[in-house]
Amino acid sequence: MKTNQLYLLLSTALIMLCNACKKEDNFLYKGDILPVSITGYNASSEYLLVKLDTFSFKSELSPNTMINLSDAYTFWGDQEKVNLTISEKSTGKKVLERALKKGDGPTTVNLFYMNGEVSELPQKPAVEEGKNSVIYMFKPTITKYSGAVDIALGKFYVTPRVFEELGRIKNLKANEFSAAVTVPSFSTAAGQLYNGQATSVSFRARIYKAGTNELYTEGSAYTWNVLSSTAPLPPASSSASKLYIFEEAPSGVNMLFTKKLEL
């Protein structure tokens, strides 16, 4: 009797194991797996939720953080596409929606989310020895300047008050990312000469009305101070590749700027 019971138990276990293997085979071979990666930056104060149809990503997108998150979705039967949605956790507001197809293969979605607006985060150039590369987004939050601007990077020689332009971003619209500009790095050590005259040298970025050398503050209630007014920059002597989002932060009538994001 005991032998029969033992045989029955072993037979049942073997059948269950075979069924499990069949199910595993179905999972491995009948479903098409779509790897999905989310990259970029969440520059908001909101947690963001990522879903593929009703399937939630294993992690949320944290506020004010670089995004680098991957997961996978399995298509079954005749299913040919899946709906990717990214939404604010606290409000349910839909940030991004995109249909992904079965045959797309590994998919990467680049997301930059700030002030309720969605765009893509540009790829910074690789760091080059002896050079500084910069990408900008300019937000004229105080003046509400509506025209396009040029941003010129260069050396400012203090004693003769001369600005030597090294490179320029042209025709940049407010609240949009620029193309990268690359300029040589240089020393700001004391004891430098300009036309034989000793002077100090600093790295400065001037903001002009597009296509001109007229400072964009001309005609506004604010003035451009040649010593203190500048868009953000990396150290002059470094080799760097930077992305800056900056906005106006005047002090009295003197136009100054503050960084909202530096990557």
Region for 211 from its dihedrals, namely left if φ exceeds 0, alpha if ψ lies in -120 to 50, beta otherwise: left
User: Domain 131-262, what fold?
Assistant: Immunoglobulin-like (2.60.40)
pLDDT digits (tens, 9 = 90+) for 129-188: 999 999 999 999 999 999 999 999 999 999 899 999 999 999 999 999 999 999 999 999
| Paired sense of beta strands 32-42 and 107-114, if any | parallel
pLDDT of residue 20: 45
Q: Report which secondary-structure segment, H or E, holds 191.
A: none
CA–CA gap between residue 60 and residue 66 (Å, rounded): 12
Segment 5-64, tens digit of pLDDT: 444 444 444 444 444 444 444 334 345 899 999 999 999 999 999 999 999 998 999 999
What per-residue confidence (pLDDT) applies to 88? 97
Q: What's the token pair of residue 205?
A: 């970025």
Gap between the Cα atoms of 104 and 248, Å rounded: 43
pLDDT, residue 104, reads 87
Residue 222 is predicted with a pLDDT of 98
The domain segmentation of the chain, as residue ranges, is: 32-119, 131-262
DSSP structural state of residue 77: T
Phi, psi of 237 (to 5 degrees): -90, 0
CATH dotted code for 32-119: 2.60.40
Is the pTM of the predicted complex or chain greater than 0.85?
A: no
The amino acid at 116:
G
